[in-house]
């Protein structure tokens, strides 16, 4: 029990703060992208531990988790009862196509072919911060997803954030 407590404290200490920014870059013929300097600087504490790259649940994009964030997610998922079929189905689908990846010494990230196919990434891509992870999008699909054609953002913001009250006066 004490070892788990120490492990959780260590995870909390290396937890990545919010990642900020949206970056456009290009994918080379081998499926590699150069991590922009500003993003690489934010991810610096995570570079030695590596990352997990997976399919998004809700969008046709990929999600890049710093290893500390992935570990926290797995702690939540490991609480699910595997003798409940829905839980097993969820775990299987959530972890489908998951890959451990690293940024090489030149600052490049290799995206595996199967994940390129899933996300229909072409040459032009967008790296978009999503609080504590980075979404990797085909540029055209990203532009379409944020265009607002299918969702009224003001209504969405009110539905999601409208009833939140915090101690900082942000509400």
pLDDT of residue 168: 60
Separation of first and last alpha carbons in the chain: 39
Which residues make beta-bridge pairs with 109? 33, 103
- Please write the tens of the pLDDT for every residue from 29-46: 999 999 999 999 999 999
Q: Are 157 and 169 in contact (CB under 8 A)?
A: no
- CA 44, CA 121: separation in Å to the nearest integer? 25
pLDDT of residue 6: 47
Nearest to 137, CA basis, from 124, 148, 126, 122:
126
Which residues make beta-bridge pairs with 126? 24, 137
| pLDDT band (50, 70, 90) for residue 2 | very low
- CA 27, CA 108: separation in Å to the nearest integer? 10
Q: Are 19 and 132 in contact (CB under 8 A)?
A: yes
Residue 10 in this model has a pLDDT that exceeds 60? no
Q: Are 51 and 65 in contact (CB under 8 A)?
A: yes
**What is the residue whose two structure tokens read 């532009």?**
143
Q: Averaged over 140-151, what is the pLDDT?
A: 85
**3-state helix/strand/coil string of 77-146:** HCCCCCCCHHHHHHHHHHCCCCEEECECCCCEEECCHHHHHHHCCCCEEEEEEECCEEEEEEHHHHHHHH
């Amino acid at each position: 029990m004490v070892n788990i407590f120490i492990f959780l404290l260590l995870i909390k200490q290396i937890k990545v703060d919010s990642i900020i920014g949206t970056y456009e870059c290009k994918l080379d013929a081998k499926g590699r992208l150069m991590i922009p300097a500003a993003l690489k600087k934010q991810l610096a504490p995570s570079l030695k531990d590596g990352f997990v790259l997976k399919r998004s649940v809700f969008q046709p994009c990929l999600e890049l988790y710093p290893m500390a964030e992935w570990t926290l997610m797995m702690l939540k998922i490991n609480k699910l009862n595997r003798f409940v079929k829905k839980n097993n189905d969820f775990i299987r689908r959530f972890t489908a196509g998951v890959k451990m990846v690293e940024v090489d010494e030149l600052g490049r990230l290799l995206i595996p072919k199967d994940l390129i196919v899933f996300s229909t990434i072409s040459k032009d891509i967008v790296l978009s911060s999503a609080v504590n992870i980075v979404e990797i999008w085909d540029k055209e699909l990203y532009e379409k997803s944020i265009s607002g054609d299918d969702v009224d953002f003001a209504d969405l913001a009110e539905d999601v954030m409208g009833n939140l009250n915090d101690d900082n006066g942000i509400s």
